Amino acid sequence: MREVISLKELIDQLELLESDVAREIESATETEALEKLRVNLLGKKGRLSAVLGAMGKLPGNERPLVGQRANLLKDQFQKLLEERLQTVKSEALADLLEAETIDVTTPPIGIPSGHRHPLITTKEHIVDLFCGLGYAVAEGPEIETDHYNFSALNIPEDHPARDMQDTFYLEGNLLLRTHTSPVQIRYLEENPPPVRIVAPGRVYRRDAVDATHSPVFHQVEVLAIDEGLDFSHLRGTVMAFLKAFFGDLPVRFRASYFPFTEPSVEVDVQWRGRWLEVMGCGMVDPAVLEGLNLDPDRWSGFAAGLGVERFCMVRHGIDDIRRLYTSDLRFLEQF
- The answer to whether the bond into 141 is cis (omega within 30° of 0) is no
Count structural domains, the chain. 2
Q: Judge if 145 and 86 occupy the same domain.
A: no
Per the domain annotation, does 105 fall within a domain? no
Per the domain annotation, does 243 fall within a domain? yes
Residue 13 has pLDDT above 80, yes or no: no
Q: What is the pLDDT of residue 192?
A: 92
Q: Judge if 72 and 16 occupy the same domain.
A: yes
Gap between the Cα atoms of 257 and 53, Å rounded: 74
What pLDDT, in 10s, does the model give residues 203-241?
Answer: 998 888 888 788 899 999 999 999 999 999 999 999 999
Max Cα distance, the chain (Å):
109
Per the domain annotation, does 106 fall within a domain? no
- End position of a domain, from candidates 66, 100, 134: 100
Domain containing 137 — which CATH number?
Answer: 3.30.930.10
Share of the chain above pLDDT 70, in %: 92
Per the domain annotation, does 113 fall within a domain? no
Give the range of the structural domain holding residue 234, as residue numbers without chain letter: 118-332
Q: Judge if 196 and 59 occupy the same domain.
A: no
Task: Give the closest residue to 36 by CA, choosing from 27, 76, 73.
Answer: 27
Per the domain annotation, does 78 fall within a domain? yes
pTM equals 0.65
Q: Judge if 79 and 134 occupy the same domain.
A: no
Strands (E), the chain: 136-137, 143-145, 174-176, 195-204, 216-227, 251-258, 261-271, 274-284, 299-307
What pLDDT, in 10s, does the model give residues 88-137?
Answer: 888 888 888 888 777 778 787 777 777 889 999 999 999 999 999 999 99
Strands (E), 81-206: 136-137, 143-145, 174-176, 195-204
Burial of 219 (0-12, 13-18, 19+ CB in 10 A): buried
Per the domain annotation, does 108 fall within a domain? no
Per the domain annotation, does 81 fall within a domain? yes
